[in-house]
Amino acid sequence: MTGLVVAMDGPSGSGKSSASRGVARALGLRYLDTGAMYRAITWWMLQRGVDLSDPEAIAARALDPVLTIGTDPDAPSVAVDGADALAPIRTSEVTAAVSAVSAVAEVRRRLVAEQREIIGAGDIVVEGRDIGTVVVPDAPVKIYLTASADARALRRTAELEGTTVQAQKAAMARRDTLDSTRRADPLTMAADAVELDTTALNLEEVVAEILRLIKEKA
């Protein structure tokens, strides 16, 4: 398994994070949540009053925040300018704004370069929306997780307080549209990725199936 890179893509609520951490833990690999990096940039810009409806304003500040992200699947960590941002980047405000920030080419160029540096020689599970298509197109294992809209919304509602399944379903539909239609690195399944529908599977079953695919491919 030395040098292995597992590229895990898919929309929010498909189970990427839990499955990626579970696979990394099972194989003794590092874990990288690229979505957390985009959320961290978004949170930093919201804190500083950057107009997120203006792509040029976002681009002008894209290189300013200093990000530090951990790769331990058992102890996720995200810091921005030295401040712990693990909880703040998961707020509904950040979730609503992250697609606008991640659509800006300057932000994507910066973070893709940092992601590739972290990935380095491999031994890592990487989750996101453009891992198999852009970040590591030569990854030996590419998996695209999906799930029904209802299942995804139900999972996200269970994670968040003060929301409903219908609200989350609408929010996810909006974000899916934004992420899949942006000009820079849109959310799409790599041609050589294996699609795995997690709608009817629990976490243990998803991890087991991914481990089987890794053994088969790598």
Residues 131 and 139: beta-carbon distance below 8 Å: yes
Please check if 10 is assigned to a binding site.
yes
- The burial of 3, by beta-carbon neighbours within 10 Å (0-12 exposed, 13-18 middle, 19 or more buried), is given as exposed
SS3 state of residue 156: helix
Instruction: Enter the tokens of residue 80.
Output: 């921005």
Beta strand extents in 93-201 (DSSP E only): 124-128, 141-146, 194-197
- Which residues share a beta bridge with 30? 124
Residues 14 and 144: beta-carbon distance below 8 Å: no
Distance between CA atoms of 64 and 20, rounded to whole angstroms? 29
Sheet holding 78-80, edge to edge: 67-69, 78-80, 83-84
Unique residue bearing structure tokens 């800006």: 104
Please check if 12 is assigned to a binding site.
yes
Please check if 11 is assigned to a binding site.
yes
Instruction: Enter the tokens of residue 201.
Output: 């599977």
Residues 124 and 2: beta-carbon distance below 8 Å: no
Please check if 102 is assigned to a binding site.
no
Please check if 13 is assigned to a binding site.
yes
Please check if 16 is assigned to a binding site.
yes
The binding site for ATP consists of 10-18
The binding site consists of 10-18
